């Protein structure tokens, strides 16, 4: 399991300040959160996104505030072609560089060599390990030089995210500040923003996807399904998390 990142420089905010900011921003707009963060952290702040609807709303908001805001993403190596094409579209649409982080080749080669290319279908332990190598570890490297990062998490995504705050300390990544500007938003609010501002969206949404990740691990959902039902659909009664936003102990993962 990936170890928490230990930085040689502490965050500039202590727990009391973070709690105060979380309370003060709870009823403020996501744009207010982003303006404050961009002003406070500058180039040591980045938006981490997989270019799903939530991330696109935040990217558009942040870009309107500061066109130079850093944008980073993780390429697991198993994304759908539509997503790769969409990333290129966004790079051109906003005329921005996108920092792309990939799995460490030696770790991936060892894992695939021992377990094959699709071991995640065989056991929960192997699925979580695959997520760690392909997603969690690259993000840890991406965040290693930052003081704060922006996430598209919302409280209505999963039960494990219901308690997130707008401003948090990210103990998984060296105690840096984690911002969840859309924490209180609903799916309807996100899509209303995208439509109102003519923000591009991944075309997979038009084909029944409600959560988009790696090609072998996400599929379209049916009307009325939980939005994350297409994630790791072969798993029953598990927490649908990869480990990016919370530590995942596979041996205790079953709900």
Three-state SS at 51: coil
In a domain, 28, yes or no: yes
pLDDT digits (tens, 9 = 90+) for 176-234: 999 999 999 999 999 999 999 999 999 999 999 999 999 999 999 999 898 888 998 99
Angle at 98 between CA 107 and CA 84, to 5 degrees: 70
In a domain, 162, yes or no: yes
In a domain, 5, yes or no: no
**pLDDT on residue 253:** 47
Q: Residue 81 contacts by C-beta under 8 Å, 6 or more apart in sequence? A: none
Positions marked catalytic: 242
* pLDDT surpassing 90 at residue 243: no
d(CA 172, CA 7): 11
* Of residues 72, 244, 70, 35, the one with CA closest to residue 158: 244
Q: What is the mean pLDDT of residues 130-144?
A: 95
- Domain span at 83: 15-252
In a domain, 7, yes or no: no
Residue 130: pLDDT band with limits 50, 70, 90 = very high
More confident residue, 241 or 67: 67
pLDDT digits (tens, 9 = 90+) for 8-59: 444 468 889 999 999 999 999 999 999 999 999 999 999 999 999 999 999 9
In a domain, 1, yes or no: no
Give the chain's domain count: 1
Helix axes 30-41, 53-65, angle to 10 degrees: 60
* pLDDT surpassing 90 at residue 116: yes
**pLDDT on residue 6:** 39
d(CA 190, CA 45): 22
**pLDDT on residue 245:** 66
Element (H, E) at 96: none
In a domain, 10, yes or no: no
What residues are paired with 74 via a beta bridge? Answer: 101
Average pLDDT over the chain, rounded to an integer: 90
pLDDT digits (tens, 9 = 90+) for 102-113: 999 999 999 999
The b-or-e profile of 175-191 (16+ CB within 10 A means b, else e) is: bbbbbbbbbbbeeeebe
Residue 160: pLDDT band with limits 50, 70, 90 = low
In a domain, 32, yes or no: yes
Residue 117, exposed/middle/buried by CB under 10 A (0-12, 13-18, 19+)? exposed
Q: What is the mean pLDDT of residues 114-140?
A: 95
**pLDDT on residue 44:** 96
- Tell me what percent of the residues of the chain surpass a pLDDT of 70: 90
Identify whether the C-beta of residue 189 lies closer than 8 Å to the C-beta of residue 177. Answer: no
In whole angstroms, what separates CA 2 from the centre of its chain?
17
- Count Cβ atoms below 10 Å from residue 113 Cβ, excluding itself: 8
CATH number for 117: 3.40.50.620
* pLDDT surpassing 50 at residue 100: yes
Residue 163: pLDDT band with limits 50, 70, 90 = confident
d(CA 139, CA 160): 20
Place of tokens 């270019």: 51
Residue 114, exposed/middle/buried by CB under 10 A (0-12, 13-18, 19+)? exposed
**pLDDT on residue 215:** 97
- Going edge to edge, which strands form the sheet with 99-101? 99-101, 70-74, 45-48, 148-150, 176-179, 167-170
């Amino acid at each position: 399991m990936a170890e928490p990142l230990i930085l040689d420089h502490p965050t500039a905010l202590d727990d009391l300040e973070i709690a105060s900011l979380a309370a003060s921003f709870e009823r403020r707009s996501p744009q207010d959160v982003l303006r404050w963060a961009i002003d406070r952290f500058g180039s040591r702040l980045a938006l981490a996104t997989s270019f799903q609807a939530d991330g696109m709303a935040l990217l558009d908001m942040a870009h309107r505030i500061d066109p130079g805001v850093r944008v980073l993403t993780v390429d697991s190596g198993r994304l759908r072609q539509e997503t790769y094409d969409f990333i290129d579209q966004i790079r051109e649409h906003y005329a921005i560089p996108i920092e792309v982080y990939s799995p460490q080749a030696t770790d991936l080669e060892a894992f695939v060599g021992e377990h094959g290319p699709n071991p995640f279908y065989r056991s929960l332990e192997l699925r979580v390990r695959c997520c760690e190598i392909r997603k969690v570890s690259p993000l840890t490297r991406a965040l290693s030089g930052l003081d704060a990062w922006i996430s598209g998490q919302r409280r209505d995504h999963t039960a494990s995210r219901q308690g997130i705050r707008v401003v948090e300390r990210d103990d998984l990544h060296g105690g840096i500040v984690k911002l969840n500007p859309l924490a209180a938003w609903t799916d309807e609010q996100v899509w209303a923003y995208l439509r109102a501002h003519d923000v591009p969206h991944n075309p997979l949404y038009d084909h029944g996807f409600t959560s988009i990740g790696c090609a072998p691990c996400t599929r379209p959902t049916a009307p009325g399904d939980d939005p994350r039902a297409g994630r790791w659909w072969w798993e029953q009664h598990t927490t649908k998390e990869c480990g990016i936003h919370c530590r995942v102990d596979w041996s205790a993962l079953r709900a």
